[in-house]
């Protein structure tokens, strides 16, 4: 694809699926139709697609053409173990930590603006 190998093409295709969710959310938000039935269905489908894309990216990161079959199996098992641990941590944080943090941040508009600015700068800097 465009002179690239097979693996870079898979990475780019999988990464592009994430951008579609962001675009649809922005359009629905601008039209103020986030709570309509078709918006809920389309966002559900897009989020499921994103979850599959994350799993595919995890799978692709363990793929190595030069590794033996035993080493490849160990790589895949380690990747899915790390992914499972990460999902567990995210679930724990989303249930116990994030609600308290968000509640304290949203108490004042200044704190909310400062937090959003810091998050934006941090996310741009980590790319």
* Confidence at residue 1, expressed as pLDDT on a 0 to 100 scale: 52
CB burial readout 42-81, b (16+ within 10 A) else e? eeeebeeebeebbeebeeeebeeeeeeeeeeeeeeeebee
Mean pLDDT, residues 108-116: 85
pTM metric for this prediction: 0.54
* pLDDT score for 127: 56
**Residue 32, H or E segment:** none
Positive or negative, the Cα torsion across 92, 95, 98, 101?
Answer: negative
Q: Are 46 and 20 in contact (CB under 8 A)?
A: yes
Task: Dump pLDDT digits (tens) for 44-66.
Answer: 888 888 888 777 777 777 766 67
Residues 107, 91: Cα–Cα separation, whole Å: 24
pLDDT tens string 8-42: 777 777 777 766 777 888 888 888 888 888 888 88
53 versus 99: the higher-pLDDT residue is: 99
């Amino acid at each position: 694809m465009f002179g690239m190998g097979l693996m870079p093409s898979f990475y780019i295709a999988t990464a592009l699926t994430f951008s579609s969710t962001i675009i649809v959310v922005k359009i629905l938000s601008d039209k103020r139709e986030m709570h309509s039935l078709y918006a809920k269905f389309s966002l559900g489908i897009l989020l499921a697609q994103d979850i599959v894309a994350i799993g595919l990216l995890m799978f692709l990161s363990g793929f190595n053409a030069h590794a033996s079959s035993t080493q490849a199996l160990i790589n895949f098992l380690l990747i899915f173990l790390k992914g499972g641990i990460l999902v567990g941590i995210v679930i724990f944080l989303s249930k116990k930590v994030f609600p308290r943090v968000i509640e304290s941040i949203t108490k004042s508009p200044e704190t909310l603006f400062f937090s959003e600015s810091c998050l934006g700068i941090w996310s741009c800097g980590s790319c």
